[in-house]
Structure 1
Amino acid sequence: MAERDGAAVRVAVIGCGQIADAHLAQVRRAGAEVVAVCDATRHMAEQAAARWRVPAFYEGPDAVDAMLAEARPEVVHVTTPPASHLALATRALAAGAHVYVEKPVTVDAVEAVALEQAAARHGRLACAGHNLLFDPVIQRLRALVEAGALGEVVHADAVMGYDLAGPFGALLTAEPGHWIHRLPAGLAHNNLSHPLSLVLPLLGPGTPAVAHALGRRLRAERFGDARDAFHDELRILLEGPRATASVLFSCRIRPAQLALTVYGTRRAVHVSLDARTLRVVEGSHLPGPFQKVDWARRDASAAGAELLRRSADLALARLHYFEGMHRLFAAFYRAVRTGGPAPVPLADARAVAQVIDAAAAACRRADAAAQEACA
């Protein structure tokens, strides 16, 4: 694709639910023009257009095709429930638009392959919505890994907490028909893309093997329907050619947080996505009890440096919650303008989907075995 003039990229958003607000805000921060929004229901499309001053909104069964034909967006953001992602993204690609697809990009790996093929067939870019890869603290981590500062990666631990009493958690526990309950891995399915997108690149090329997956339901049964069925904890152990990783999704840990620790042959790194902090663990070579004091000193020094960084970010108004999303959008729009590759290719989404597929299948087998044992 040849580079075009300096006109803003024309963007449309399909799906006006909760995450659409984040997209609409960050699209504008990235310098693009929102030309239309679209939703299956009129009030959702209309309110989004009114609140964000979007010039056109579309609703109803034929809304997507009408929007693509009339608004003629260059890029379409798909922010609907995952079961509709493949069909909607494929329609946008066929109409000549590039697509950005929210996580989870597809329901399973089969659909991920189909979306890859559709993008290739129509000669358009498709970007996976793994926005945490572009969070400032993860970009710092990636720079350290790529520079060899950690040595060879040996293991990574990712922990993601989820509060069922939060706004979205309360919504899905109030609605037995919520689309979350139809995902193969339930609530975890909608969230695992975040930690998996962070650890998979650390394990080397290809999709790592799922060595073990364990799903548990530890909350009390309250409803007698789908709201009692999803696992509130899911543990996954991954095995790459020379490194391993563990991922924990839990509705019980407090504080609910997303944290990542990477262990290398030279150093380790602790990352908090919530605090946006990164602490390199150097260790100490001092003898005996002096080592413990030196280790604590190094930890305190690293923590103090991160406090100064965050304080400066606060003073300069740089602590945007969706900063990673903003940076990913900007990178994607540059690729659209210059003909470069998508900043997060669909191959990454396919690898994430393959891991979730395998973990969900392992949990189903374990559930079936437990039920059979109780019969």
Structure 2
Amino acid sequence: MRVGIVGCGKIADGHAEQLRAIGGADLVAACDREPLMVERFAQRWNGVAAHADMAEMVRAERLDVVHIVTPPDSHVQLACQAMELGCHVFLEKPFALDAAGTRRILECAQATRRKIGVNYLYNFETPGLQLRDLMAERTLGDVVHIDTTYGYNLGGDYGMAVMGDPAHWVHRLPGKLFHNVLDHVLAKVVGFLEEPVTVNAFAHRMRPASGDPALDAMPDELRFTLSGANGVTVSGMVSSHARPVSHTMKVYGTRDTVELDYAARTLVRSARQDQPSSLGRLFPAWVQSLRFARNGARNTGDFMRNQFHYFQCMRVLLRGFYGAIDGRDEDPVPHAHILRVATLIDGIVEALERPA
């Protein structure tokens, strides 16, 4: 399939790298409104033709698939236009600014009979895939509660770009800083919650005031709770200050509990005390050490097989997406899943706007 990328920012290189790796996809073109951005991208990726307009690119390059990695306020217009031009579309998160925009894109996909995908890559990270298997095998029993954390490093390259530019597109999002990562947080938990879901949330700014009203109006700590009609609850934290910067999830089940660390690519069963008294407190640490050692051995094997790079999970997701286009696989991220994530983000944003 002939593929083009719309938007030549930093994440575009991640998409290009994985497209070159999966096979069956030929990256032939890219476009960006900034000529310098697309020219440099084309220099980094040999064989990529540079364009300034998406519609012109689609027609000139006879594209089958378009990856849209622009800011989310452009996603509805660009995704619908690409599908109406006959292309399948893979979107970066956030999928859209709100659930209304999400519905428009999904309805356009149905009307044009084109595939629409989104980069909910962490569901395809090693621990995410392991959790899916455990749930299919009923190893955990019924899920009771989920606790999830996501760290946002404002001292990193991306965080500094956001904080250094009050006009950065993140400041235009309804949920500001949190809106940019909530897709990642919620995409991992929506499958456990039955509708309707009750949402509560609060946020605050922990960093010192900068004197810039746009920056100082942006909170950097978020806490939320979700409660599904099936009784499953979720507690979530998005933090810019907790250290180490974490990306974890703990799933409590009626049979067993597991802890996932997406950064370290580990999934371990929680420690339990099976022996009495002090002896029972001696063994769990050794059992947990063995479990982590097994994770380390598996990760070492993946590293040796070149399956441990940063965007390995995106590679797995893209193989599924292109397999769905070919008719070999189901959509890796169903439409209903995408819409539920968007609806929950709307709910969190609305909760943050309620008077205290």
Check whether TM > 0.5.
Answer: yes
Question: In the alignment, what sits opposite 2:5?
Answer: 13
Question: In the alignment, what sits opposite 2:44?
Answer: 51
Equivalent pairs counted in the alignment come to 354
Alpha-carbon distance in structure 2 between the residues aligned to 1:171 and 1:78: 21
1:293 and 2:277 aligned: no
The gaps in structure 2 that reach 5 residues or longer are: none
Alpha-carbon distance in structure 2 between the residues aligned to 1:206 and 1:142: 20
Alignment-mate amino acid for residue 29 of structure 1? A
Runs of 4+ in 1 over 3 A off after TM superposition: none
Indicate how the Cα distance of structure 1 residues 340 and 121 shifts in structure 2: closer, same or farther if over 3 A, else same. farther
Alpha-carbon distance in structure 2 between the residues aligned to 1:332 and 1:338: 10
- For 1:320, what is the secondary structure of its paired residue? coil
Q: Post-superposition shift, 1:207? A: 5.6
TM-score, with structure 2 as normaliser: 0.96
Map 1:1-375 to 2 at 5 A. Answer: 9-31=1-23, 32-59=25-52, 63-203=53-193, 205-206=194-195, 208-210=197-199, 212-240=200-228, 241-281=230-270, 283-338=272-327, 340-366=329-355, 369=356
Report the identity percentage.
36
Alpha-carbon distance in structure 2 between the residues aligned to 1:283 and 1:77: 45
Deviations 1:236-277 (A, max 9, x none): 101111311111100001111200110000111011111101
The gaps in structure 1 that reach 5 residues or longer are: 1-8, 370-375
- For 1:192, what is the secondary structure of its paired residue? helix
Deviations 1:57-100 (A, max 9, x none): 111xxx11101111121111110000001100000000111111
Alpha-carbon distance in structure 2 between the residues aligned to 1:232 and 1:263: 27
Alignment-mate amino acid for residue 174 of structure 2? P
The worse-fitting range, judged by mean Cα deviation, of 85-94 and 317-326 is 317-326
Alignment-mate amino acid for residue 50 of structure 2? F
- For 2:345, what is the secondary structure of its paired residue? helix
Alignment-mate amino acid for residue 45 of structure 1? V
Alpha-carbon distance in structure 2 between the residues aligned to 1:156 and 1:282: 17
Q: For the aligned residues, what is the CA RMSD?
A: 1.4
Alpha-carbon distance in structure 1 between the residues aligned to 2:48 and 2:90: 21
Q: Post-superposition shift, 1:111? A: 0.5
**Aligned partners of 2:271 and 2:285 also within 8 Å:** no
Q: Post-superposition shift, 1:300? A: 1.6
**Aligned partners of 1:185 and 1:230 also within 8 Å:** no
Alpha-carbon distance in structure 1 between the residues aligned to 2:75 and 2:195: 24
- For 1:218, what is the secondary structure of its paired residue? coil
Alpha-carbon distance in structure 1 between the residues aligned to 2:136 and 2:198: 23
TM-score, with structure 1 as normaliser: 0.91
- For 1:284, what is the secondary structure of its paired residue? coil
Q: Post-superposition shift, 1:11? A: 1.0
Q: Post-superposition shift, 1:282? A: 5.5
Alpha-carbon distance in structure 2 between the residues aligned to 1:156 and 1:304: 25
**Aligned partners of 2:320 and 2:329 also within 8 Å:** no
Q: Post-superposition shift, 1:345? A: 2.2
Alpha-carbon distance in structure 2 between the residues aligned to 1:73 and 1:189: 31
Alpha-carbon distance in structure 1 between the residues aligned to 2:315 and 2:248: 21
